[in-house]
Structure formats: structure tokens, C-alpha cells
């Protein structure tokens, strides 16, 4: 991992985002570890997250992976947004499952990045794999304001 100062700064950037992330907070996502280009989040699957088959709705898994991806690609302090993302669902997730999503940078260029996210359950079994593409905006994460067309 990175040196202590860079890691602390990455955590500060992500905690700033999390403080304004009503979705992550409402869904019960918790930050487990942050480093430069890296984020690990956890979340427990609640009954209101189940689909008609009584397994976790895929959108919930996508949201967890997307949030870990967002925190990893914004950890350096340069505002980045998703330009795309794909997910593969490996096995069902059930109510009460404790999930951990780990996002890691695979490539970070000047403007675009590629990140992989693995979601595992409490038994260490992979339940989903996500790949996200990011695009950096020319401003600090601390100053970011969305541009509305």
C-alpha cells in the first residue's frame, strides 16, 4: 500500500465524499479500508433489499460495487465520475449475508481509469465481479460540483 501521509489523505477524500453520500449511508454501507486507488466497503443484506426470488436484488450489488469503485477512483483527490460499469453475478446473495466489496485500480491515466471490484460474502465466496471505467474532471474532489446541462 501507499505511505502513511498519502493513505491518510486518501481516507480524508473518501470520508468527505461519504459524508455527502446519502445513498451509501441509507443502504448501510461502511468504509472498512481506504488507500490510494483502493477501497473496501461492507454492507449487510436486509429484507428490503430482496427481489421476488427472495435473493438480493442485482441493483443493490451494483450499488455496493459502484460505491467502492467511486471511492477508489476519487481517493487521490481528483474528482472522477463513472463513464461505464459492468457486473457479473456469480451466485445468489441472501438476507443476512455480510458483503465486502474491494475495489482496486488496474490503470489510472491522466483522465481515464480502470478499476475492478470483487464482492465476497461472509464465507469468503465471490458473489459478484464488477469493472468500472472512470473519467477525471479537472477539479479537486473537495470542490466538485456537478455540471448540469
Write the DSSP assignment of 85-118 as a string of letters. EEEEE-S---TT-EEEEEEEEEEE-SSEEEEEEE
Q: Taking 70 as the threshold, does the pLDDT of residue 71 lie above it?
A: yes
- Judge contact between 115 and 86, C-beta under 8 A: no
- Judge contact between 36 and 7, C-beta under 8 A: yes
Q: Which residue has the higher pLDDT, 2 or 58?
A: 58
Q: Taking 60 as the threshold, does the pLDDT of residue 51 lie above it?
A: yes
- Residue 144's nearest CA partner among 9, 8, 17, 4 is 17
Residues 95-116 have a mean pLDDT of 97
Q: Taking 60 as the threshold, does the pLDDT of residue 4 lie above it?
A: yes
pTM of the model: 0.93
Q: Taking 90 as the threshold, does the pLDDT of residue 126 lie above it?
A: yes
CA dihedral for 29, 30, 34, 39, sign (positive or negative): negative
Amino acid at each position: 500500500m501507499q505511505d502513511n501521509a498519502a493513505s491518510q489523505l486518501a481516507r480524508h477524500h473518501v470520508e468527505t465524499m461519504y459524508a455527502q453520500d446519502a445513498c451509501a449511508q441509507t443502504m448501510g454501507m461502511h468504509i472498512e479500508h481506504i488507500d490510494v486507488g483502493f477501497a473496501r466497503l461492507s454492507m449487510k443484506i436486509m429484507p428490503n433489499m430482496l427481489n421476488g426470488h427472495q435473493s438480493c436484488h442485482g441493483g443493490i450489488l451494483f450499488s455496493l460495487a459502484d460505491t467502492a469503485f467511486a471511492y477508489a477512483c476519487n481517493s487521490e483527490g481528483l474528482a472522477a465520475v463513472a463513464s461505464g460499469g459492468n457486473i457479473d453475478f456469480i451466485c445468489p446473495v441472501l438476507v443476512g449475508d455480510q458483503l465486502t466489496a474491494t475495489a482496486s485500480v488496474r490503470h489510472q491515466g491522466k483522465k481515464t481509469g480502470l478499476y475492478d471490484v470483487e464482492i465476497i460474502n461472509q464465507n469468503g465466496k465471490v458473489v459478484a465481479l464488477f469493472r468500472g471505467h472512470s473519467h477525471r474532471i479537472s477539479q479537486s474532489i473537495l470542490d466538485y460540483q456537478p455540471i448540469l446541462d
